[in-house]
Amino acid sequence: MRRTVIAVVTSCLLVVSACSSGGSSTSTQATPNEADVVAWMDKVCGAVGGTVKAMSDEPPIDMNDPSTLKTGMSEWLGTKVTAVDKSIADLKGLEDGPHPKSKELATAAGEGMGQIRSLLAGTKSKLDSATDVNQVVAAFTEMVGRASELEKAGADVQKKFNETGLGGAAAKAANCKALQTSPPTT
């Protein structure tokens, strides 16, 4: 069970950090003041970073006490959903950035976060309605089985990041650098 949860967390972290890893370093012709774009990118990565930080801990796993397992996992997922909700709201507030493609990137990152939220909230709902430990394990197994969906969402965000030409700004933004250097907790 512990490896299963770690695999899901790792997949989630790949998705949320995808918007800051790599990308084109060429600038778009219509790019306004570089300092403004870098400051905006820092905020975008900061919004994503909130979820990355929240996802860095492990859920409480006690296979000897099924009721504690269910409750602990549900509470853990609830805190993750709350963190993703905050990231989504923060990204929505960044759609009107200084770069001509600010809305595209913020929207793509928000959509990726939305997919993470959907998976986490759906799993939490299944856990909350579970009547035995087998259903709890089944809910997490299903979540792990859907990890490839999160990887695709991350790839889609990465593609949008590359298309916007904001790689140079991300390379200079402190929060983006922090996302690139923060390995997932295992």
Per-residue pLDDT tens for 166-184?
878 888 999 988 887 655 4
CA 168 vs CA 37, 142, 155: distances in Å: 10, 38, 19
Mean confidence (pLDDT) of the chain:
79
How far apart CA 19 and CA 3 sit, in angstroms, is 26
Averaged pLDDT for residues 103-118: 90
CATH ID of 2-14+35-55+64-181, from 1.10.3470, 2.40.128, 3.30.420, 1.20.120: 1.20.120
Q: Name the more confident of 20 and 117.
A: 117
Q: Is the pLDDT of residue 25 over 60?
A: no
pTM of the model: 0.78
* Residue 97, pLDDT score: 92
* Residue 140, pLDDT score: 83
Domain definitions of the chain by residue range:
2-14+35-55+64-181
How far apart CA 77 and CA 136 sit, in angstroms, is 13
* Residue 70, pLDDT score: 86
* Residue 30, pLDDT score: 52
Q: Is the pLDDT of residue 8 over 60?
A: no
Averaged pLDDT for residues 158-163: 73
